[in-house]
Amino acid sequence: MKFLGEAKGIFNIITFMELGLSIIFIFFGYMFFASGDMNKTLASVLAGLLLIINGAASIYYHRKRNGIDLFNNNMFFGFLFIIIGAITMVASNILITLMGIYLIVGGLLKINYGLFLKKFNESSWFLILVTGILFIVLAIITFFTDKEASVSVCGIAFLGYGLINLISTILLRRRSKYFIA
């Protein structure tokens, strides 16, 4: 049972990291929203760094998963997050579009988690799936917002992402009994 204990330890580390990232997203989201007149270039650099950190964390989750199949696709999503983050850092004129793309990718990751949990009849699967759909809805909303308010909209997107991710991670920690396939 050493393997099961190691997997539970890795699962705890990964979900605690995800909780920390959620709090950082909430903080940056509030900061961007509260100071909507922030320089768009500075906002793009900060947003890009945050996305790169999120991508690196996803790759870490994949590499350290130790048999936890829930995180099998995180390598792919991690590289997407890093690419979107790098582009965000240098393309402040399309900040809002990149945030929308990021939210779609994040939504797909949550949908993947939800469908994985469904295979094990875990009761939280539907709520995790709905959070992924909410990310995608939030992305669609960002695509139709005023480009002049891109820093504020980016803040709202980060706030939404952080809050929804925080709730779904807490739910995953509390309810998931079958995260090892």
Question: Rg (Cα) of the chain, in Å, rounded?
Answer: 16
pLDDT at 144: 83
Point out the least confidently predicted range of 43-47, 55-59, 75-79, 171-175. Answer: 171-175
Give the pLDDT of residue 66.
55
Instruction: Tell how far CA 155 is from the center of its chain.
Output: 14
Q: Give the per-residue pLDDT at 27.
A: 93
The domain ranges of the chain are: 2-175
The SS3 call for residue 177 is coil
Rama region for 38: left / alpha / beta (φ>0; ψ in -120 to 50; rest)? beta
Inter-residue contact 131 to 168 (CB < 8 Å): yes
Amino acid 19: pLDDT: 92
Share of the chain above pLDDT 70, in %: 86
Selected residue with higher pLDDT from 2 and 63: 63
Q: Which residue would you say has higher pLDDT here, 3 or 66? A: 66
Rounded-to-integer distance, Cα 27 and Cα 163, Å: 10
pLDDT per residue as tens digits for the range 65-75:
655 566 666 77
- pLDDT reported for residue 103: 84
| pLDDT of 180 | 45
Cα distance between residue 95 and residue 43, in whole Å: 9
> b/e string for 48-85 if b means 16 or more Cβ within 10 A?
bebbbebbebbbbbbebbeebebbebbbbbbebbbebb
- Condensed to tens digits (0 to 9), the pLDDT of residues 122-162 reads 777 888 888 889 889 888 888 887 767 778 878 888 888 88
